[in-house]
Amino acid sequence: MLPFKLVYHEGYDLHFGDHVFPTQKYKLIRRRLLDSGFCGPEDFLEPSPATREQLLLVHTPEWVRKLEAGTLTYHDILKLEVPYSRKMVQAYFLAAGGTLLAAREALNHGVGFNIGGGFHHAFAGHGEGFCAVNDMAVAVRVLQQEGAIKTALIADCDVHHGNGTAAIFAGDRNVFTLSIHHFNNYPSEKPPSTVDIHLPDGTSDQDYLRHLRNAYETAVLGFRPEIVFYVAGADPFYDDQLGGLSLSREGMFLRDRLIFDTAFRKHIPVAVTLAGGYARKIEDTVDLHAQTARAALESMKEWARRW
């Protein structure tokens, strides 16, 4: 049995059909982790959808109402870049519930791992770039409202800038947002995070890890959050269709270990969301996300021995 839980729901599939975002990856990741012997069925938790009240802690009533009623405008759908359906909306609400559940697990056990979520392009009043609900923001606000946490650090390592997250938490001294991303990439407008690391085309392992280590370790040591939300995008990988960076498989693993090791060194729990991944071979995306789970386990075991 794993020392932490994996959060998954079969409803995570956004049912986009023939789309560059392979949302069938979620069930494939679950299957890969099970088939490899990494975990058993008992290691999974099934989330409930985020409630309307929880969503409204972040999102405007108008946007939540549009999602619930299916009254998105043509412009809304153009910005969202995905076809609307009831199943799609339910998947986003489930992802938000899943990230909240993963965060609760992290606070209790050190790690919580949502096999989904990471929809960092969602703003308070609209969706963008395949993201309709900002699940990390919802989880932070719910936990703050409940008094479970006061401060949080969102370490966004997706290849794309976390514009929605940056905008939602702009000026909030209790939430530190860090985004390391390919600069010449979506989105064109990048509202400032607490710290932004704008990487040039083709940045590879050594430079990526150096920039991330300097910024992230400083943030963890200086800000001392009560929880880290790790947006573990698989799209910095060199063969990603929507990427622009050149990380190897080993570099991606070292990135994951850096996030976990730095947090665990200071006894800070980590809640994981998976975000993007658009490798030319879906097997590569699945492998990279599964690798993040293995990195979490290895890091947790190593730091448990040191403690």
SS3 content of the chain, % helix, strand, coil (to 5): 45, 15, 40
pLDDT band at 15 (very low <50, low <70, confident <90, very high): confident
Class of domain 5-306 as given by CATH: alpha beta
Domain boundaries defined on the chain: 5-306
Burial per residue of 87-114, b for 16 or more beta-carbon CB atoms within 10 angstroms, e otherwise: ebbbbbbbbbbbbbbbbbbbbeebbbbb
Instruction: Tell me the per-residue pLDDT of 52-106, one tens digit each, with 9 for 90 and over.
Output: 999 999 999 999 999 999 999 999 999 999 888 899 999 999 999 999 999 999 9
Q: Which two tokens stand for residue 21?
A: 């975002």
DSSP letter at 95 equals H
Q: pTM here?
A: 0.96
Sheet holding 44-45, edge to edge: 44-45, 5-7, 111-114, 270-273, 228-231, 152-156, 175-182, 195-199
Helix (H), strand (E) at residue 197: strand 195-199
Among residues 46, 51, 35, 49, the alpha carbon closest in space to that of 5 is found at: 46
